[in-house]
Amino acid sequence: MNEKNKKEILSRGAFATSIGAVIATLGSAIGLGNIWKFPFIAGENGGAAFLIVYIASTILVGLPVMISEIALGRKARANAITTMQKLNPKKGQPWWLIGALGALAAFTIMAFYTEVAGWVYAYIFKSLNTSGLSTNPQVTEKAFTDLITSPWQSLIWQWVVLGIVSVIIIKGVSKGIERVTKFMIPSLLVMVVIIAIRSLTLDPVATSKGLSFLFRPDFSKLGWDVVLIAMGLAFFKLSVGMGTMITYGSYWQNDQNIPYRTATVMLSDLAVSLLAGLAIFPAVFAFGFEPASGASLMFITIPAVFASMPFGQIFMVLFFILASFAATGAMISLIEVPVAYINENFNISRLKATIATNLTLALIGSLAALSNSVLADFKLFDLTMFDLFDYVSSNLMLPIGGLFIAIFVGWIWGKKNIEAALNNAGTLNNHVIVNVFTFIVRFITPVLIIIILLGGLGVF
């Protein structure tokens, strides 16, 4: 890449280094989905059997869509909606709606994700005064319940989260997003390893039960609904189908190896999910918790692990600080989707675009924040607003967005453009990888998504 092109890319906003691009992308993928969502969903859906389906979904569905989105974004050098407009070979076709659906999905996820992040931020301060630090399940459960059923605590912590993310987004791509994630993600990985080691050494019997739960499959637990949930989680955790990878791809430089880098992100994300499972499930059995206890699993189990170890309070404070890093890395990428669109298409400064986006999120997100208190009895389709935002985004919007991304790349954008994007205009000798990817994104990924969607919706 010549200096002129490099300067043009950096002037718009780009990750300054290859490692920065990978870590920022990893920061989007490795979020609370690994530490919070993966363990409780695995717990609710049979552990190891769910894990197998999840891994298959990640490899055959999530990774191909991630590669597609990064390639599209880097080629167009634009936000998710404009990318689809620019790369559509036949003008007038509504492929831009894929980008619009992704932006809407990102917004919907943020509506409930900011609330979960707020819980994490609140637990930093709970850890400082040892509130909720106990091996007694009743104590840790009460501490969490008191938090989520308090309307003002829920709202205030959600607003704190939005304020912190706003500051990072306003600073831009390299000075904000890249700089912050390069510090946060390695720190998080170290802490997750430490907690997993401690959890595995709590009690031999509990460790055996935890490992069996996580790695010994019981296929009687599987059904179409579980497969749909696994695919939705793969999309959620890899941040695909929501416009984030298209947006982040637009900040990747032209000499970065997309297949290799995205595979690195996928494997790292999977490794952190497994580490989170190793950190939580042995402790679940050691302290008599219920593996299927739902979204609160991290907040009632992790404090029990720390209460059982020397200097537990210090480690608990550090853990929730680092968990806040994970949440922040994911939220940065989600908010960047609408911010980039507003900034580029309406000629509005990044500052004003960020403020407008987050004020709207504060309004809509309050519905999720209050779902366990004043809006607890308000339900649509028998779901609270928190659960509705989660279900619609993860199980419908993301897979549908991913389906049309795969169709667009495989059949509309076509083989020639795929080759140029993945071999960096002929500078990489990876013809086999390109051919395998093209086959998967054309014939396997879209078919699997359609089958799983229809099965999960009860069509057959």
- Rounded distance between C-alpha atoms, residue 339 and residue 230, angstroms: 29
pLDDT band at 6 (very low <50, low <70, confident <90, very high): low
pLDDT above 90 coverage of the chain, percent: 46
Check pLDDT > 70 for residue 9. Answer: no
- Rounded distance between C-alpha atoms, residue 372 and residue 357, angstroms: 24
CATH number at residue 346: 1.20.1740.10
Q: What pLDDT does 208 receive?
A: 94
Q: What pLDDT does 318 receive?
A: 80
Q: What pLDDT does 358 receive?
A: 93
At position 371, the amino acid (one-letter code) is S
pTM of the model: 0.90
Judge residue 4's burial from the number of C-beta atoms within 10 Å of its C-beta, 0-12 exposed, 13-18 middle, 19 or more buried.
exposed
Number of domains in the chain: 1
Q: What pLDDT does 132 receive?
A: 66
Check pLDDT > 80 for residue 290. Answer: no
Taking residues 85-102, report their average pLDDT: 89
pLDDT above 70 coverage of the chain, percent: 93
Least confident of 152-156, 204-208, 316-320, 370-374: 316-320
Nearest CA to 15 out of 251, 301, 289 is that of 251
Residue ranges making up the domain that contains 143: 3-456
Taking residues 125-140, report their average pLDDT: 78
Question: Which structure tokens are listed for 27?
Answer: 């920061």
Taking residues 131-135, report their average pLDDT: 71
pLDDT in tens, 417-433: 999 999 998 899 999 99
- Rounded distance between C-alpha atoms, residue 28 and residue 266, angstroms: 11
User: Contact, 165 vs 383, CB < 8 A?
Assistant: no
Taking residues 225-251, report their average pLDDT: 88
Angle made by CA atoms 189, 389, 329, in degrees to the nearest 5: 25
Alpha carbon 105 to its chain centroid, in Å, reads 12
Q: Which of the 8 DSSP states describes residue 430?
A: -
Ordered DSSP codes for 351-387: HHHHHHHHHHHHHHHHHHHTTTTTTTT--BTTB-HHH
Q: What pLDDT does 315 receive?
A: 79
pLDDT band at 131 (very low <50, low <70, confident <90, very high): low
Check pLDDT > 80 for residue 14. Answer: no
Q: What pLDDT does 16 receive?
A: 67
Residue for token pair 């709207």: 360
Q: What pLDDT does 8 receive?
A: 47
